[in-house]
Amino acid sequence: MSLAPYQPHCYFPLSFDYPSSQCSTLSGRPAVSAMSLWYLFSALVGGPGSVLISVLLLILSVRLWHKSRLWDLQCCSTDLTGKVAVVTGANSGIGKVVSQELARRGARVILACRSRERGQQALAEIQAASKDACILLGEVDLSSMASIRTFARWLLQEYPEIHLLVNNAAVCGFPKTLTPEGLEFTFATNYVGPFLLTNLLQGSLQRAESARVVNVTSFMQDCGYIDEEHLTGAGGPLTFNQNYYCSKLLLTSFTGELARRLQGTGVTVNCVEPGIVYTGIMKHFSWLYRFLFKLSSFFLKDPKQGAIPVLYLSLAKELNGVSGKYFNSSCVITLPPKAAQDPVVAQSLWNASVRLTNLDKTD
Ligand SMILES: NC(=O)c1ccc[n+]([C@@H]2O[C@H](COP(=O)([O-])OP(=O)(O)OC[C@H]3O[C@@H](n4cnc5c(N)ncnc54)[C@H](OP(=O)(O)O)[C@@H]3O)[C@@H](O)[C@H]2O)c1
């Protein structure tokens, strides 16, 4: 049998019409493997398949690149037995992976979710993955200050010590909408909610002696600006989705201010951006955006990879005592946007947030 010479633009033949005597193995089955592989290879390299090969290689390189820039979770020996962790938005995406890893390391994890049904499903999945996981569901709607207060009261009563709070929940893709409490919905969920919850839990965090607060922000904060009036739906103009960008910028500014205020208490506060991760974060966008997001998903991090920077801030021993920092998706301390570096702006935002949440009056 002689192999056909390499033809740069020949296509992979779908059927083989060689005489069976020529193309059969000892077992009598057609010996298509070597031939077909050869044809497939020549067709792919030389024909339009080269586009496919290039795309596959590109995907592979991007994935390897993501992997090479990730902190090695397996090398971290932090044991969380006896510790209590609260993760908001724990029923999907990054929050679910983070919760699972914390539970795997022995922590008692409270999944803070707004939907009992989705929360219970996540809880069942995490429990199925690690049988000894000690996880509980806590219901909280972070866009509602009343709901946060009820949740925080329950937590403080049940858990006098909280060692880790991950402010992960967020929404994006919503137009300007006011909540019944008079807050702008996206700002309420992404900024006011974490602000209020963290402050209400301060007693339990400080009692833990050594505790961490991890705020999940976004690189898109670079496209935001700080205007306190946005919190109530007023303020400067916002382009499409800029309420999300601005709310994340406020969260970063809050991180710095809270860290300054908690100096010497044993509670550290840092924020991190996970990179571009293929999760349900775009679920409120139009089908076109969701379609494009899905199309690009091959090049994006998956939730497990997206959770690594958040886990780094939650677990890494070398971060003991490190506070008020912004970490990029490669777990490197980076300067946040200028507006979030300004302590005067941060203090003013803090005061406005205290007024809006009545933090000074009731708690
Ligand atoms: N994915 C990315 O590319 C990316 C990039 C930069 C930053 N981030 C940040 O990463 C974090 C996690 O997002 P993700 O990508 O994992 O998206 P996700 O899967 O959509 O997770 C967001 C979580 O927040 C919860 N949530 C939303 N509104 C809530 C509310 N009012 N009360 C309580 N929980 C609420 C969601 O619950 P429901 O299921 O009930 O909606 C969901 O569990 C977010 O802070 C996001 O801004 C993500």
User: How close is the Cα of 253 to the center of ligand 1, in Å?
Assistant: 19
pLDDT surpassing 60 at residue 22? no
Active site residues: 245
Looking at the structure, tell me whether residues 98 and 127 fall in a common domain: yes
- Across residues 97-118, what is the average pLDDT? 97
Q: How far is CA 129 from the centre of its chain?
A: 20
Atom of ligand 1 nearest to the CA of 219: 6
pLDDT surpassing 50 at residue 100? yes
Q: Which pLDDT score is estimated for 269?
A: 98
Would residue 140 count as lying in a domain?
A: yes
pLDDT surpassing 60 at residue 92? yes
Mean pLDDT of the chain: 88
Q: Which pLDDT score is estimated for 345?
A: 98
Atom of ligand 1 nearest to the CA of 278: 1
pLDDT digits (tens, 9 = 90+) for 292-323: 999 988 889 999 999 999 999 999 999 999 99
CA torsion angle 58 69 78 113 (round to 10):
-60
Q: Residue 298: which domain range?
A: 82-362
- Across residues 220-249, what is the average pLDDT? 97
Q: Which pLDDT score is estimated for 41?
A: 58
Would residue 25 count as lying in a domain?
A: no
- Across residues 274-293, what is the average pLDDT? 93
Q: Which pLDDT score is estimated for 290?
A: 94
pLDDT digits (tens, 9 = 90+) for 264-275: 999 999 999 999
Q: Which pLDDT score is estimated for 6?
A: 34
Report pTM. Answer: 0.85
Looking at the structure, tell me whether residues 180 and 244 fall in a common domain: yes
Looking at the structure, tell me whether residues 60 and 100 fall in a common domain: no
Would residue 21 count as lying in a domain?
A: no
Beta-ladder partners of 216: 272
Q: Which pLDDT score is estimated for 56?
A: 75
Position 14 confidence tier, pLDDT thresholds 50, 70, 90: very low
Q: How far apart are CA 286 and CA 173, in angstroms?
A: 9
pLDDT surpassing 90 at residue 77? yes
- Across residues 150-168, what is the average pLDDT? 98
Q: Please tell me the residue having the least CA distance from ligand 1 atom 34.
A: 89
Mutate to test the pocket of ligand 1, among 279, 290, 314 (most ligand atoms within 8 A of CB): 279
Of 8 and 179, which is predicted with more confidence?
Answer: 179
Sign of the four-CA dihedral 39, 45, 48, 50:
positive
Atom of ligand 1 nearest to the CA of 220: 6
Mutate to test the pocket of ligand 1, among 66, 168, 292 (most ligand atoms within 8 A of CB): 168
Which helix (H) or strand (E) element contains residue 65? helix 49-68
Q: Give percent above pLDDT 90 in the chain.
A: 77
- Across residues 232-240, what is the average pLDDT? 95
**Two tokens at 303?**
């939730």
Looking at the structure, tell me whether residues 211 and 256 fall in a common domain: yes
φ/ψ of residue 209, rounded to 5: 70, -55
Are the beta carbons of 95 and 89 closer than 8 angstroms?
yes
Last residue of a domain, one of 66, 91, 109: 66
Q: Which pLDDT score is estimated for 361?
A: 80
pLDDT surpassing 50 at residue 122? yes
Q: Give percent above pLDDT 70 in the chain.
A: 84
The long-range contacts involving 4-9, CB below 8 angstroms and separated by at least 24 positions, are 6/42, 6/46, 7/42, 7/46, 8/42, 8/46, 8/47, 9/46, 9/47
- Please enumerate in sequence order all residues whose Cβ is within 8 A of that of 77, keeping only pairs 6 or more positions apart, or say none: 317
**Pocket of ligand 1 from Cβ distances under 6 Å:** 88-89, 91-95, 113-115, 118, 140-143, 168-171, 189, 216, 218, 273-274, 276-277, 279-281
At residue 15's C-alpha, the angle toward residues 10 and 19, to 5°, is 105
User: How close is the Cα of 172 to the center of ligand 1, in Å?
Assistant: 8
Q: Which pLDDT score is estimated for 52?
A: 74
Position 70 confidence tier, pLDDT thresholds 50, 70, 90: confident
Looking at the structure, tell me whether residues 166 and 244 fall in a common domain: yes
pLDDT surpassing 60 at residue 144? yes
Looking at the structure, tell me whether residues 159 and 259 fall in a common domain: yes
User: How close is the Cα of 348 to the center of ligand 1, in Å?
Assistant: 27
**Nearest by Cα to 114 from 189, 204, 192:** 189
How close are the terminal C-alpha atoms of the chain, in Å? 87
How far is residue 303 from each of residues 72, 210, 215, 274, 280, measured CA to CA in Å? 15, 28, 17, 9, 10
Looking at the structure, tell me whether residues 302 and 233 fall in a common domain: yes
Would residue 56 count as lying in a domain?
A: yes
Looking at the structure, tell me whether residues 51 and 119 fall in a common domain: no
User: How close is the Cα of 310 to the center of ligand 1, in Å?
Assistant: 13
Looking at the structure, tell me whether residues 306 and 213 fall in a common domain: yes
Would residue 18 count as lying in a domain?
A: no
Position 136 confidence tier, pLDDT thresholds 50, 70, 90: very high
Looking at the structure, tell me whether residues 55 and 123 fall in a common domain: no
Looking at the structure, tell me whether residues 89 and 175 fall in a common domain: yes
Give the CATH number, domain containing residue 334.
Answer: 3.40.50.720
**Two tokens at 124?**
């069942």
Position 356 confidence tier, pLDDT thresholds 50, 70, 90: very high
Position 2 confidence tier, pLDDT thresholds 50, 70, 90: very low
Would residue 278 count as lying in a domain?
A: yes
User: How close is the Cα of 23 to the center of ligand 1, in Å?
Assistant: 56
The beta strand positions in 190-315, using DSSP E, are 211-216, 267-272
Position 82 confidence tier, pLDDT thresholds 50, 70, 90: very high
Q: Which pLDDT score is estimated for 28?
A: 38
Of 48 and 26, which is predicted with more confidence?
Answer: 48
Q: Which pLDDT score is estimated for 25?
A: 34
For the chain, what's the residue count?
363
pLDDT surpassing 50 at residue 251? yes
φ/ψ of residue 213, rounded to 5: -115, 130
